[in-house]
Amino acid sequence: MKLPIIAYGDPILKRKGIEIDKDYPDLQELIANMFETMYAAHGVGLAAPQIGLGIRLFVIDASPFADDDPALKDFKKVFINAEILEEEGEKWSFNEGCLSIPEIREDISRYPNIRIKYVDENWVVHEEDFTGLAARIIQHEYDHIEGKLFTEKLSPLRKAMIKSKLEAISRGQVDVDYKMKFPLLKRKGR
Ligand code: NI
């Protein structure tokens, strides 16, 4: 089932997610729904706060980037209760977008190497290193479960330049081909 994606401006996107346990209700169905929602929106990652759940869960399928990085060919993963343990290297810039912030793309600077601990959908614990684009997608989704958006990483000037566009997104004034929930959309007659 496809779920509506929460748009910029909703407080859930600013809230730090809480850890879940194995008995979280309908977890496998939730994960399947998140992948379905992500694919329908042509995204490579989706975090639980983006569908309105303040929990530490995100899904990634980076295979659309396989042309840029062959290591991403089968990169489909579920990250539960993730914790980034280390970030290192020389920061690099890449043009990012976010399903909660349609039509906005910005160059974002991030560390190239990370070590992360997480539980997968079968509740197996992993501690792994990732690099390059894989690390970047994980960092972007990880920020979501920490209540952070990439727009917060922009310079004050850049933030000022996109402010009105962000407000328009909150009000639903954006052209998007997937289902979204806009925090400031005023519905008529209700
Ligand atoms: Ni995002």
Per DSSP, the three-state class of 67 is coil
What does the pLDDT look like over 94-109, one tens digit per residue? 999 999 999 999 999 9
What does the pLDDT look like over 7-42, one tens digit per residue? 999 999 999 999 999 999 999 999 999 999 999 999
Asked about 106 being catalytic, the answer comes back as: no
Count the neighbouring beta carbons within 10 Å of the beta carbon of residue 88.
9
The Å distance, Cα 96 to ligand 1 centre, comes to 9
Among 88, 127, 141, 152, the one annotated catalytic:
141
Tokens of 174: 């954006």
Q: What is the pTM of this model?
A: 0.96
Q: What is the mean pLDDT of residues 50-67?
A: 97
The Å distance, Cα 186 to ligand 1 centre, comes to 24
What does the pLDDT look like over 130-187, one tens digit per residue? 999 999 999 999 999 999 999 999 999 999 999 999 999 999 999 999 999 999 987 7
The class of domain 5-183 in CATH terms is alpha beta
Q: Is the dihedral of CA 108, 114, 57, 53 positive or negative?
A: negative
Distance CA 76, CA 119 (A): 14
Mind giving me the DSSP string for 91-118?
A: -EEEEE--TTSTT--EEEEE-SEEEEEE
- Sheet (strand 113-119) strand order: 45-47, 57-61, 76-88, 113-119, 125-131
Contacts of 111 (CB under 8 A, 6+ apart): 87, 88, 89, 91, 135, 139
